Structures are given as C-alpha cells and as structure tokens.
Amino acid sequence: MTLTAHVCTACAIGVATGDPLLGFLGGFLSHHVLDAIPHSDAGSLGANVNNMLKSNSLKYVILDIVLAGIIFFTIWGRYSFNLVIFFSALGGALPDIIDNSPFWSKYTRKVFPTNYYHKFHETVHFTILNKRYFWVGIATQALFIMLSLYYIYYV
C-alpha cells in the first residue's frame, strides 16, 4: 500500500492505544496486514528499488510522500505533537523505509537480518499488477484512509 494508507492507519491505531510503544507496534504490524490486501502502489506501475528514481512512477511516489506528510502533520498538530502519533506513524512507515528505499534497499536485501525481512515483506505483499484493475487497488487504500481519518477525527 501507499505511505499515506500506512500512516493514516497507524495513526488511528495510535489514537486507539494512547501508548507510543503500542502505537509503534500496532503501526508496524498493520503495515503487513494492509500489504496483504490487494492494492495498487508504485510496484503496480513497474517501479522497484532498481528503477524507482528513473521511472515514471517517481511522480506517484513523490505525490504519496507529500500527501502522507501533510496528513501526518495535520494529525500530529491536532494531537499537540503527541509522541503516540509520531511513533505510530513511524511504525507504519518503517517496513517500507527499511525494505523499499531506492537508496539502501539493494544493500539491505543482501545482508542479515534484513534479507530475511525482505523475503517476509515480499511474501505478504499483494500488489495489483494488472493495470486494468489499478483503480480497484486505489479504492482499497482510499477506504482504509477514510476509515482511519474518520476514527481519528470523529470517534
């Protein structure tokens, strides 16, 4: 899933737990649960750590990072810059920071223990590759983003 979906869901978990450690762990675990749901992301557009910086999907990734950042800072500000929100969002984003960065993932995928983590992360991942169904994968993420934001702001 996109960073935006991971951050929104993780922040909702942080709000629900009210604890920085539980928020971090919940965000980290939710990342893998969300990745197991059929979704579209940069991989749906053919991007990977080897070609991310040169591919057309870079615009998609940058847009996602900007959107996730805006939403994160809005939520974080609403909760008076509470560490629960910060650590929850970090937990939700960390798996992709570790495993999907075009800057270091080529290396981390070759060394212990992150090489085993990459295999696990890739195994649970359900990226929609058929471009015909790209928007279905966007819809699944939009649903989680909306539900998370609803919980954060209205529950």
pLDDT tens profile 73-123: 999 999 999 999 999 999 999 999 999 887 888 899 999 999 999 999 999
The residue to which tokens 């966007």 are assigned: 138
Q: d(Cα 152, Cα 75) in Å, to the nearest integer?
A: 8
**77-83, long-range: CB within 8 Å, 24+ apart, which pairs?**
78/152, 78/153, 79/15, 83/20
Residue 119: what are its φ and ψ, rounded to 5°?
Answer: -60, -45
- Confidence band (pLDDT; 50, 70, 90) for 60? confident
